[in-house]
Structures are given as structure tokens and as C-alpha cells.
Amino acid sequence: MQVIDNLETIRAQASGWRLAGESICVVPTMGALHAGHMSLVEIARAHADRVVAWIFVNPKQFENPEDLAKYPSHMEADIAKLQAAGVDALYAPTPDQIYPEGFATTVSIAGVSEGLCGAGRPGHFDGVATVVTKIFTQTQADCATFGEKDYQQLQVVKRLVADLNLPIDILPCETVRETDGLALSSRNERLSDTDRAIAPALHGALQAASARLRDGEAPGPVIERAKAEIEAAGFTRVEYLELRAARDLAPFKDLDEPARLLVAAHLGKVRLIDNIPV
């Protein structure tokens, strides 16, 4: 596996593959790879001749400097995992490759970026959309994998691709969970032992709420009850818990169309997100 840290080399490599008629799938990540990321790699391998993994902790999507400073990094272990998984190239650019001096462009997506995580993390999805646009153009990928764990991000990226007619297929991948239901996340390693024991209550509350909704209970009381359950389990604060249309995150109307329950909640200093279909 090649480890590439600059734009010229990834461009040359990607152009070479394309000239040889080979397709490319990119797996965008911020590193600290876990089984969820590796499932994205597997899906990428099944869809293209060449797989490029991307690792870059994108400063523009962190509205909280402490969260950025504490974001885990395990580059050596990540390289070993990607190599073992048969990835062709890891592109881990330096910040100046992505945001050279004078960089002044922001890609901003209205509607689907608003509310949910967009409300609690101002500027976050502008940062995501800007770097994702660069990921797509720099790697010249035919397809890209995105986890459903970041469900709003997935919808933002789909909107970006549709609106800008980007020639890339977005491959959504199901959330990978611990056996107790906790969605895998690089942030889980920042949980204390006590908080790690509490954390699965987030998924538990979503599952119970989804079952109640399917049984015909009214959304308002179901959501209030789920929030109370999460706080009673020991979470410090529920930032949001909302029912939205699964297709585009529009406000929920009825269960005739697929819906999604989405939550963000704080446990100690760690902010966890999760979502499930209803």
C-alpha cells in the first residue's frame, strides 16, 4: 500500500489507474480506524478496482477547539489495518495541501445541513462539504463510502453530489455496533469506564422509541419518553432527539414514508450521535 501525503502524487496515481481503465473508490475518514471504517473499506473493495483510504482530521469541521485537540490519532495502527485490508493507497494529506495559504472557499449546503447536528455544531457541515468536495476532486474517485452512523452527513453529501452533478456514486454503509448496541465511533475511546457502561442506553432508547412508534403511539410523547430514558441512564444532556423523513431529513409527516430517529447526547465531555430507521 502506498502512503501518499501530497496532491501531485495522488493525482498522478489516480490518473494512472484511470488511464488503465481501473475504477477508484475512496473511503473518507479522520483516522483512529475501527471495525465500522473497515466495513467501509470492504464495501469499497467490492465496488471498484482500486481503493484509496483518506485520513485527515479536518479542522474546518470542528467548531470546538477542545474536540479537535482531543480527536484520537493512531496513524501507525491505521496504516497496518488498511494494508491488511488490501487498500491500494492511503492518502493522508498535510493541512497545507488541503488548505494552502489564502484558501477562501466554502461549500455550503442549505436545508439538509440545518437543524440536528447543524444546529449544535455551527459551520460543521460547511467544513464537511468543503473537504468532501476536495476529497472527490483530488482522488478522482468513481465512488465513495459513507457510514449511516453520520446520517445527516450522508444526506449532506448526497445533496452535494446531486446539486453539483459530481460524477461519483455514494455508497451508504450500515452502522456497525458493539454487541451491547453502542454504535462504533472513534470518540468512544474517550469514554470513562463508567460512561462506557452507560453509553448503550442511547441505542436502547432509540430502539424502544422506534417500536412504540411502529405500534402507533404518537411521536411527541414517544420522543419525550426516550429523552427521559437517556437522561435517567446517566447522560448529561440530550442535545436533540428527532423523528425525520429518512430520504431527505424533512420534518416527519407520517409513517407512510420511511422515517429515521436521530439523536445527539452528551456523556461527560463526549458527544455521541446515533440514529435508526423507524
Catalytic residues: 37
Judged by CB under 6 A, the stretch of 74-82, 128-136, 201-209, 257-265 that binds ligand PAF is 128-136
Cα dihedral value 118, 125, 46, 74, nearest 10: -100
* Of positions 58, 113, 152, 185, contacts ligand PAF by CB under 6 A: 58
* Of positions 13, 39, 61, 130, contacts ligand PAF by CB under 6 A: 61
Q: Closest separation between CB of residue 128 and ligand PAF, Å?
A: 5
Sign (positive/negative) of CA torsion 176, 179, 181, 185?
negative
* Of positions 10, 14, 30, 154, contacts ligand PAF by CB under 6 A: 30
Q: What is the DSSP string of 128-143?
A: HHHHHHHHHHHHT-SE
131 binds ligand PAF (CB under 6 A): yes
Contacts of 2 (CB under 8 A, 6+ apart): 9, 13, 88, 89, 90
Please choose, from the candidates 195, 225, 220, the residue with its C-alpha nearest in 3D space to the C-alpha of residue 208. 225
Judged by CB under 6 A, the stretch of 22-30, 99-107, 196-204, 254-262 that binds ligand PAF is 22-30
Judged by CB under 6 A, the stretch of 65-73, 127-135, 188-196, 229-237 that binds ligand PAF is 127-135
* Of positions 4, 24, 25, 28, contacts ligand PAF by CB under 6 A: 28
Is the separation of the CB atoms in 235 and 202 below 8 Å?
yes
Is the separation of the CB atoms in 23 and 48 below 8 Å?
yes
Residues 140-159 close enough to bind ligand PAF by CB under 6 A: 150, 153
> CA–CA separation, 198 vs 237, rounded Å?
13
* Of positions 52, 89, 128, 265, contacts ligand PAF by CB under 6 A: 128
The 10 Å Cβ neighbour count of residue 98 is: 18
Nearer to ligand PAF, 61 or 140 (CB): 61
What residues make contact with ligand PAF under the rule CB under 6 A? 28-30, 58, 61, 128, 131-132, 150, 153
